[in-house]
Structure 1
Amino acid sequence: MTQLFRYILLSLLFLAACTDSPQQADPNFTPQFRIQTYQPTNSPVVLVDEAHHNFLTIDGRFAPFKQVLRSDGFSVKANTTPFTGTQLAKADILVIANALDKDRSDWQPPYELALTQQEVDQVVFWVKHGGALLLIADHAPFPAVIDNLAKAFGVIFTNGHVSAYTFKRSTHSLAVHAITSGRSDEDKTTETPIFMQPVPDASITQIKTFGGSAFQPPEQATSLLTLGTGTVSHEPTIPFQISADSRTISTSGWSQGAVLEYGKGRVAVFAEGMMFSSQLDTKTGQTYGLRSQGAEQNEQFMLNVMHWLAVD
């Protein structure tokens, strides 16, 4: 099977994942059993953006993300208004997952920016002064519509489609970091934070993604998920419509997941959303994401990322 033909088949899967009917949150998803990290007295507030026509919402395709976080004691709430300093002050962690420029019924260009420059400035200021941001921009056109926010943190996205990829510690595509070891060795506070307490099963050796895009992180960032030799991004003019004439760029050495400290705050950027959810194809009964073969550690990895973001 040629690489192009394989991508055409993958594009059909992506297209199914981005329609309103076949791909839905897995109604049978249950978080893994764990000892709850946070209690009501110290629960970090996670504000998940739903004010920008987001494709992933906590009562929709991103419901398993909410379930996992709540099972660990996080407080998860939806954000339904444009970003302001007052709104952001209510959160410890802001999640922006697959924002869109409008309520789309198709993927036809052109694409506008999802966030105003004023909103971008508010988010950057908030992070710089201690906020924490999880930014997810999946396959095209999601990177294009959050370009101004990504570039504000020095992140340069492709706007195309990459194939599913398995990142492994053994191949050095999965970085050695506090997140993958399961504890924050970077925190220097006198009290031992919750995230530094040893958790036997918190170490990560393998992560699976399910397509998405790719990006070049800024120099000061750490790429947790680094794509290997031979990986490419197909960038058709219209998303999913991949052909022999579609622009293709190498993504070898590019990232699908990176973290950085920014001022007093922290940022985590990922180029794929299903890795943090569980979705059901209602036509085939097939599930993708957190319960997929090869993604057995994705759920713990997601929590490790959120714990790292929650550290003051």
Structure 2
Amino acid sequence: GYRLRSAKEKISYDQLKEVKIYISINALYNPENWKLPTYSVFTDQEIETLRQWVFDGGSLFLVTDHMPCGGSVQTLGAAFGIHIVNGFALPKNGRPEIFSKDRETLLSNSITTGSGKEIDSIMCWGGTGFIVPTTARIISLLNEEYDIYLPNDANQIKRPIPDNIPRLSGKGFANGAYLQFGKGRIVVFGDGAPFSAQLHGIKSEKRGMNHPAAKQNAQFLLNIVHWLDQ
């Protein structure tokens, strides 16, 4: 029941007042450059326009990913008190990323339980972490089982990950959260893959909603959009 509109022009309030939800997914300042430094994909004026629009009642769905995606939206996130790391959040054991209520990495809240379609687990494929303001509710948590790597070049991240790459403990960082801002709403997520449907690589490996362990990812996305649409 939703109508999607692609926007290639710079963000303006006149453009935003015609829509209910603004979605940004894995925005990059320069898709050809995966090295530091990383620059904001949004201008200061666009960020202020988005901030005011949300404050006045708009809804923002901000999806980012591992470096350099995180760095490309750091300034936008900061305008809402969200501090996004320009890094790679990866489990230390290299195993598939299942966030679940049983493991206490997926939390009960208005999005995972409040819509009538309860979500018990979701699957992710890397991404980044962020810190949210106290007014936010966390959807999914990183923990001490994760490291957030801070490379100079995204191509440095390959298993085994070199010891000389700086890293942070994942403890205390979120990879999914939501908050109300003024009259508006925001959902931020640190990985774009859960909301995709991929056949990855030469062997067409199933990822995103196609993966058999990601059975609830599609409903999770619907729950997010329905919350933003209230």
Q: Same fold (TM over 0.5)?
A: yes
Whole-Å Cα distance in 2 between the matches of residues 203 and 111 of structure 1?
37
Match of residue 280 from structure 1:
199
Q: 1:101 aligns with which of 13, 24, 29?
A: 29
Give the letter for the 2:104 counterpart.
H
Q: 2:142 aligns with which of 227, 247, 269?
A: 227
Give the letter for the 2:112 counterpart.
T
Q: Deviation at 1:98?
A: 1.1
* Aligned residues of 1:161 and 1:234 also touching (Cα < 8 A): yes
- Residues 166-208 of structure 1 deviation map (CA, whole Å, 9 limit, x = unaligned): 111112211111211142xxxxxxxxxxxxxx4xxx1110111
Q: 1:271 aligns with which of 175, 190, 204?
A: 190
- Secondary structure at the aligned position of 2:127 is classed as coil
Question: Given the two structures, how large is their TM-score scaled by the length of structure 2?
Answer: 0.92
Give the letter for the 2:27 counterpart.
A
| Residue 170 of structure 2 corresponds to residue 251 of structure 1 | yes
Match of residue 217 from structure 1:
132
Q: Deviation at 1:294?
A: 2.1
CA RMSD, 1 decimal: 1.3
Listed as ranges, the matches of 1:1-312 within 5 Å are 73-102=1-30, 104-163=31-90, 165-183=97-115, 198=116, 202-242=117-157, 243-311=162-230
- Secondary structure at the aligned position of 1:91 is classed as coil
- Secondary structure at the aligned position of 1:306 is classed as helix
* Aligned residues of 1:206 and 1:294 also touching (Cα < 8 A): no
Whole-Å Cα distance in 2 between the matches of residues 286 and 173 of structure 1?
25
Q: Deviation at 1:282?
A: 4.6
Which has the higher mean CA deviation after the structures are superposed, 141-150 or 117-126? 141-150
- Secondary structure at the aligned position of 1:118 is classed as helix
* Aligned residues of 1:160 and 1:234 also touching (Cα < 8 A): yes
- Secondary structure at the aligned position of 2:194 is classed as helix
Q: Percent identity?
A: 32
Whole-Å Cα distance in 1 between the matches of residues 144 and 192 of structure 2?
23
Whole-Å Cα distance in 1 between the matches of residues 204 and 22 of structure 2?
32
Whole-Å Cα distance in 1 between the matches of residues 130 and 199 of structure 2?
27
- Secondary structure at the aligned position of 1:119 is classed as helix
Question: Given the two structures, how large is their TM-score scaled by the length of structure 1?
Answer: 0.69
Number of aligned residue pairs: 221
- Residues 33-71 of structure 1 deviation map (CA, whole Å, 9 limit, x = unaligned): xxxxxxxxxxxxxxxxxxxxxxxxxxxxxxxxxxxxxxx
Q: Deviation at 1:111?
A: 1.9
Give the letter for the 2:137 counterpart.
T
Whole-Å Cα distance in 2 between the matches of residues 228 and 100 of structure 1?
27
Larger Rg: 1
- Secondary structure at the aligned position of 2:86 is classed as coil
Which stretches in structure 1 are left out of the alignment for 5+ residues? 1-72, 184-197
- Secondary structure at the aligned position of 2:60 is classed as strand
- Secondary structure at the aligned position of 2:108 is classed as coil
Which has the higher mean CA deviation after the structures are superposed, 228-237 or 78-87? 228-237
Match of residue 64 from structure 1:
none
Q: Which runs of 4+ in 1 moved over 4 A?
A: none
Whole-Å Cα distance in 2 between the matches of residues 273 and 296 of structure 1?
16
- Residues 136-155 of structure 1 deviation map (CA, whole Å, 9 limit, x = unaligned): 11000011111110000111
Whole-Å Cα distance in 1 between the matches of residues 179 and 81 of structure 2?
10
Whole-Å Cα distance in 2 between the matches of residues 294 and 287 of structure 1?
10
Whole-Å Cα distance in 1 between the matches of residues 36 and 178 of structure 2?
30
Q: Deviation at 1:107?
A: 1.1
